[in-house]
Amino acid sequence: MTTTAGKHESAGKRKTGKTRKGNHAIRVILCEAANAVRNTKSALRDKYQSLVARRGHKKAIMAVAHKIIRTIYVLFTRREPYRDTRFDYEAAKVAKNAPRWIKALKKSDSVSTPAPVTAS
C-alpha cells in the first residue's frame, strides 16, 4: 500500500506528483479513517487541521492516511498498543472505575460518612 506522492525536483524546488498505485481497498479504508479523524480529539486531527488550511481537504486526507499507515507499521513492528498523545488514559480509567471503587469502599465500611457539623 502506498499513499506517498511522487517527488520531482527541478532547480532545487520540490514539486509533488500523483500518488503511486497501491491496494485500492486499503487506500479507501485509510481515507475513510482519515475522514473520521476530523471528528475526534486526537493528534491526527491536529495534523489534519494544520494541513487543510495550506493544502486543501483532499491532500490533507491523503497525508493523514499516510500518517495512519506509518503509525500502524510502527505499532506492529514494535508490538505496542496505540497511545494518543492528546488523550489522558489515566484520567479516563479513574473516571470509568471511580463509581465502582466508591461503592466497594462503602460496602466494606472503610469509608465513614462525615458527621454533620453543628453550630455551637
Q: What is the pLDDT of residues 10-33, one digit of tens each?
A: 777 777 677 778 888 999 999 999
- Establish how many alpha carbons lie within 13 A of residue 91's alpha carbon, considering only the half-sphere containing its beta carbon: 3
CA distance linking residue 65 with residue 48, whole number of Å: 10
Grid cell in block for residue 15: 514539486
> Residue 27, by phi and psi: left (phi above 0), alpha (psi -120 to 50) or beta?
alpha
**Greater pLDDT, 93 or 77:** 77
Question: By the 8 A CB rule, do 85 and 71 touch?
Answer: no
Mean pLDDT of 31-50: 92
Query: Across 3-7, 45-49, 115-119, which has the greatest mean pLDDT?
Result: 45-49
Does the reported pTM lie above 0.75?
no
Q: Give the confidence band of 85 by pLDDT, cuts at 50, 70, 90.
A: confident
CA distance linking residue 62 with residue 15, whole number of Å: 16
